[in-house]
Structure 1
Amino acid sequence: MIVIDSDTVHELMDWTLAIDALRAGHRGDRPAIDDLLMKDADRALLVRASWVPGGAVGLKAVTVFPENPGRQPPLPAVQGQFLLFDGERGAVSAVIDGAAITAWKTAGDSALGADLLARPDVDCLAMIGAGAMSEPLVRAHLSVRPSIRRIVLGNRTRARAEGLAGRLVDTGRTVEIADDIDTAVAAGDVISVATMARVPIIRGALLRPGAHVDLVGAYTPDMREADDDVFARGRLFVDARETTLHEIGELMIPLAAGAIRESDVEGDLFDLVPAADAGSAARGAADEITVYKNGGGAHLDLMTAGAIHHAWLQRHRL
């Protein structure tokens, strides 16, 4: 059994490898997916499992303690491990740091969605939220849309936005901190949102024609980042129907209120990737708004873990 720690994961991976693994994983059969979520106020234990028919099996268990970065000394908000099982014999092939997989999987998921749906000539990326996922999301989006020349940060507290801005200096882009979230949203051609919001903070009325909205943060039934106008103005897509429509408040709440219908979801990655391979782009007219809900299911962890495991074997010539 191989143990791959966080530092090794980051050494082995790059955005091309992560996104290509997710793209390839959506060209085959839909895997089985199941989740367990337990909560204690804002804290959570999330266990996610996936099984590819006739193939690999994976399980990730992570805790989410949002207050951890503010501790002295600071601790990661997300901690846990991923178990990769051999699909033939059922043995554990690798134990991989769960938080590291989450970063590459989550940001890679959003970048793949943007690559399939966002305009190819986007100029401005608005990053809403300055938590642990914000930097990977920015870097992943830049990898698929190198046309981005300007990054605008919107965050509840300016100090964390300033810290993020400092870490993004090496991107070579202009990095600005908006006075408020509305200003950042109105500036973005791509708006990536990774917060712990439970009431909408993204107002659809502010979206520019042709914008692409990447909704990442909401992962429980009571969390939501976008208001009803975002869905009313945009064409809606998800990474996987089974991990978003009836699992996450971002869609559950407007579905229950009648603001959207299940049929409003035009496709997920199992539709979008094969269509793109066949030369059929989903992005449509230049002024159309696209909305992508990143649900981050266990199958995406499994695809990412497979890429990490393969890269480790190549490094060690096994």
Structure 2
Amino acid sequence: MASAPRSAVATSPMFVPADSLHSLLTHETLIEHFRSSLPTVTPSISTPIRQSYAVSPDASLLLMPSWSSHPSLPYIGVKLVTYFPDNSHRDLPGIHANYVLFSSATGQTLATMDGTVLTLYRTSSVSGLASSILSRNDSEVMVMVGAGALAPHLIQAHLAARPRLKRVIIWNRRIDKAISLAEKMRGEGRFEGVSFESGGYLEEIVPLADIVSCATNAEEPLVMGRWLKPGAHLDLVGSFKPTMRECDDEAVRRAADMGCLFVDNRVAMEEAGELAGAVERGVIGEEEIVGDLVELVKGEKVGRRSPEEITVFKSVGSGVVDILTAQLVYDMGLKHVPQPCS
């Protein structure tokens, strides 16, 4: 879904606020954009390792640059992210971000957009794409672990990937947030035939789930491998440094034993506490991480092979999906922004 870039003249950069992003993007269109674009353009995109700086004992500043040499993706992009986990106690999102898109032909600034909402869409749509390959076609029950800003997006992305889902159970350390999100999802009235509810005990609701999606700041495992039923798909999103873990070693080991342990990109082996820790403790070897998202989409790696397999997908994010999301936003935005006459 590439567009011809604006002509190389001085023009004001497009500004895309959060509200406009909601009107330009859907999880369905972004999942399909990733599915069609990742195999083609990924080899031509340079994505240096994310730079992370501790600005306080708990808070971080992250810089995520990327640039493309592919003719259909003539862009340079940089995302600036702040991570303040204590914001959960202030009723604020833990992540704030801005994304800047430049022309790779002229260096001109083409667009600035709300990077927080962009991240929510791209992260959840990566999980949705992986779920469309790794979860069971007949998945009916989803457990959402966490009720922060990312949770409703993950729910929508998994619903887009698996339209047979009919029950979503939301868990959060603060049960009031789980109840509130369930009520919000019900109140939107967009998900016909899907029930939304809150659950109080993970050990009771995880065994019910065909899909378990986690988006938390946990540093101690929340999901235990022994709770996962045969055929379950575990989607791990929250951790992005070795000290963070959303599941225990048993969950990782069970998927690895079945040849069903996947990542969005290979950086996850270094950044994700679930994987880095399991390798360090000798639970798995690095070679047991079977493949990444691009290999799954291209069919170079086989995802689910039987209804009984437990699959695990760990994502940490990358500049590749950032720049592809920004491309789609820019393409859609151009259709709504008047262009100068030639």
TM category, shorter: over 0.9
SS for the counterpart of 1:27 is: helix
Report the CA distance between 1:281 and its aligned residue.
5.3
Instruction: Measure, in 2, the Cα distance between the counterparts of 1:250 and 1:304.
Output: 27
Instruction: Measure, in 2, the Cα distance between the counterparts of 1:91 and 1:45.
Output: 25
Instruction: Identify the residue that residue 52 of structure 2 maps to in structure 1.
Output: 37
SS for the counterpart of 2:332 is: helix
Instruction: Identify the residue that residue 116 of structure 2 maps to in structure 1.
Output: 99
Instruction: Identify the residue that residue 143 of structure 1 maps to in structure 2.
Output: 160
Instruction: Measure, in 2, the Cα distance between the counterparts of 1:139 and 1:224.
Output: 24
- Pairing partner for 1:206 from 227, 252, 261: 227
Which portions of structure 1, spanning 4 or more consecutive aligned residues, are displaced by more than 6 angstroms? none
User: Could you tell me the TM-score, scaled by structure 1's length?
Assistant: 0.94
Report the CA distance between 1:20 and its aligned residue.
1.6
The question of 1:236 aligning with 2:261 is answered: yes
Instruction: Identify the residue that residue 15 of structure 1 maps to in structure 2.
Output: 27
Instruction: Identify the residue that residue 167 of structure 1 maps to in structure 2.
Output: 184
The 5-angstrom pairing of residues 36-115 of structure 1 reads: 36-39=51-54, 40-54=56-70, 55-71=74-90, 74-115=91-132
Instruction: Measure, in 2, the Cα distance between the counterparts of 1:64 and 1:231.
Output: 26
Report the CA distance between 1:221 and its aligned residue.
2.2
Report the CA distance between 1:52 and its aligned residue.
2.3
Instruction: Identify the residue that residue 8 of structure 2 maps to in structure 1.
Output: none
For structure 1, the residue ranges without an aligned partner over 5 or more in a row are: none
Instruction: Measure, in 2, the Cα distance between the counterparts of 1:3 and 1:289.
Output: 43
Contact kept in structure 2, 1:155 and 1:180, CA below 8 Å: no
- Pairing partner for 1:6 from 7, 15, 18: 18
Instruction: Identify the residue that residue 250 of structure 1 maps to in structure 2.
Output: 274
Instruction: Measure, in 2, the Cα distance between the counterparts of 1:41 and 1:11.
Output: 37
Contact kept in structure 1, 2:252 and 2:274, CA below 8 Å: no
Report the CA distance between 1:232 and its aligned residue.
1.4
Instruction: Measure, in 1, the Cα distance between the counterparts of 2:109 and 2:241.
Output: 29
Instruction: Measure, in 1, the Cα distance between the counterparts of 2:145 and 2:203.
Output: 10
Instruction: Measure, in 1, the Cα distance between the counterparts of 2:338 and 2:205.
Output: 47
The question of 1:291 aligning with 2:312 is answered: yes
CA deviation map 1:58-116 (0-9, x unaligned): 11001112233433xx4332212101111222222111111011110010010001011
Contact kept in structure 2, 1:152 and 1:187, CA below 8 Å: no
Instruction: Measure, in 2, the Cα distance between the counterparts of 1:57 and 1:33.
Output: 10
Instruction: Measure, in 1, the Cα distance between the counterparts of 2:294 and 2:184.
Output: 34
Instruction: Identify the residue that residue 188 of structure 1 maps to in structure 2.
Output: 209
Give aligned-pair identity as a percent.
33
Amino acid at match of 2:176: A
Deviates more, 1:84-93 or 1:198-207: 84-93
Report the CA distance between 1:250 and its aligned residue.
2.3
Contact kept in structure 1, 2:93 and 2:148, CA below 8 Å: no
Report the CA distance between 1:25 and its aligned residue.
2.8
Aligned length: 312
Instruction: Measure, in 2, the Cα distance between the counterparts of 1:245 and 1:125.
Output: 26
SS for the counterpart of 1:67 is: helix
Contact kept in structure 2, 1:18 and 1:304, CA below 8 Å: yes
Alpha-carbon RMSD across the aligned residues, in angstroms, is 1.6
Contact kept in structure 2, 1:84 and 1:94, CA below 8 Å: yes
SS for the counterpart of 2:144 is: strand
